[in-house]
Homo-oligomer: A and B are copies of this chain.
Amino acid sequence: MDCTVQKDTLVEAVSQVMKAISTKTTIPILTGVKMTAGLDGIVLTGSNSDISIKSFIPLEENGNENAVVHTPGQIVLPSRLFSELVRKLPDEEIHIQVDSRLTTKIVSGASEFSLNGLDPEEYPNLPVIDEQDVFKIRKDLLKDLIRQTVYAVSVTETRPVLTGVKWMIQNGQLVCVATDSHRLAQRSVPVEEAEDSAIHTLVIPGSSLNELSKILDDDDEQTVDIVMTANQVLFKSHNVQFYSRLLDGNYPDTSRLIPTESKTIIELGTKAFYHAIERASLLAKEERNNVVKLRAESSQVEISSQSLELGRVYETLKTEKFDGDPLRISFSAKFMMDALSKIDAQNVQIHFVGPMRPIIIRPIGDENILMLILPIRTF
């Protein structure tokens, strides 16, 4: 292998695939980054047992020369060292040359590294994906829907399937649901679906979606192709391919968790409500449970909390709208703040059925988002 590549381009591609590489892997070759120089460009690959990322550097793009491949070939290089090194090289051009003993010479300006490469033949093959079931989604929508659901996945492994987000495709809608059985987040978006698509439900690990979100740049107008198979999902964005395994197991039916009636409905400014809870939480989090109380009556909502050691806090908010019975309820400040912080709308509508029934939070003006949290018994 022998190629010359522009530093900026290489730095970006390496930082993308690094998100899939874990130094804690039990398979030593996977601590490396694989580099393949071919006739149309250079491919970098990083992988762990859950996700794999491929980043492609085309020889030329938008009239800029990114790379020249003198001799095609491949090599695996220690990933942490390689990623630090390319960032710190002195010149804008980097020359990479691999000899028959896998020794890799990296030259940039007056700096010359000689790294011991690893055998690319030992690097596992990425899953071969049959690109039959494909749908498209706008990048900004994809990022929103990850942000608005993944926070609610379970962080414990007691029910592994709950560490993932369920994606269902039905009637041109993608519906995403996450729950840890104390709270739930649901968001649907319209998608362009392939006509003869066969697979309609995936459970994608929350950690995979978090990493995916990090490598999606802010070029929001672009779409991402999503390829579904029985045990893998592939996200294809501009020059980047992101593979994730899927979770096995039956995802519970969450529709029966969501109450259909409500006895009290209040509307509040999203930020004002968030900050009132945050202030109450200053005392509540010193107690072990981080519970705040809410009392709603006529057009007023009172948020309060107390700590035996430190003191008490009260705050009164004026509701934008109030319907139904007066109410006293307690809930986790963290769960409420998590939900509110994912809502971009100016106002939220909150539905209560009673002090021990789920609380529903909906942004006003967007029927596609629903957050649910269970209350905590204190009264």
Q: Which residues of A contact B (CB under 8 A)?
A: 78, 81, 84-85, 88-90, 103-104, 110-116, 275-276, 278-279, 282-283, 286, 309-317
Compute how far the CA of A222 lies from the CA of B373 in the bound complex, rounded to whole angstroms. Answer: 54
Which B-chain residue is minimally distant from A315 (CB atoms)? Answer: B111
Query: In the complex, are the beta carbons of B112 and A286 less than 8 A apart?
Result: no
Query: In the complex, are the beta carbons of A78 and B310 less than 8 A apart?
Result: yes
Query: In the complex, are the beta carbons of A114 and B311 less than 8 A apart?
Result: yes
Contacts A81-B282, A81-B283, A283-B81 known; A113 to B311 CB distance under 8 Å? Answer: yes
Compute how far the CA of A113 lies from the CA of B286 in the bound complex, rounded to whole angstroms. Answer: 15
A119: shortest Cβ distance to chain B, in Å?
15
User: Which of A113, A282, A286 has the most B CB atoms < 10 Å from its CB?
Assistant: A113
Query: In the complex, are the beta carbons of A88 and B310 less than 8 A apart?
Result: no
Compute how far the CA of A104 lies from the CA of B103 in the bound complex, rounded to whole angstroms. Answer: 70
Compute how far the CA of A347 lies from the CA of B90 in the bound complex, rounded to whole angstroms. Answer: 18
Contacts A282-B81, A282-B85 known; A113 to B312 CB distance under 8 Å? Answer: yes
| CB pairs A–B below 8 angstroms (13 shown) | A81-B286, A90-B275, A90-B279, A110-B316, A111-B279, A111-B313, A111-B315, A112-B315, A113-B311, A113-B313, A114-B312, A116-B310, A116-B311
Query: In the complex, are the beta carbons of A110 and B282 less than 8 A apart?
Result: no
Contacts A78-B310, A115-B310 known; A315 to B279 CB distance under 8 Å? Answer: no
Please pick, from B116, B275, B309, B317, the residue contacting A88 in the complex, using a CB distance under 8 A: B275
Compute how far the CA of A104 lies from the CA of B311 in the bound complex, rounded to whole angstroms. Answer: 9
Please pick, from B88, B279, B313, B316, the residue contacting A114 in the complex, using a CB distance under 8 A: B313
Which residues does chain B contribute within 8 Å of A112, judged by CB atoms?
313-315
Which residues does chain B contribute within 8 Å of A316, judged by CB atoms?
110
A31: shortest Cβ distance to chain B, in Å?
12
Query: In the complex, are the beta carbons of B103 and A311 less than 8 A apart?
Result: yes
Compute how far the CA of A201 lies from the CA of B286 in the bound complex, rounded to whole angstroms. Answer: 46
Compute how far the CA of A310 lies from the CA of B275 in the bound complex, rounded to whole angstroms. Answer: 51
A109: shortest Cβ distance to chain B, in Å?
8
- Knowing that A88-B278, A89-B279, A112-B314 touch, tell me 16 more A-B residue pairs with CB under 8 angstroms: A81-B282, A81-B310, A85-B282, A88-B279, A104-B311, A110-B315, A111-B279, A111-B314, A111-B315, A113-B311, A114-B311, A114-B312, A114-B313, A115-B310, A116-B309, A116-B311
Which B-chain residue is minimally distant from A304 (CB atoms)? Answer: B112
A283: shortest Cβ distance to chain B, in Å?
7
A76: shortest Cβ distance to chain B, in Å?
13
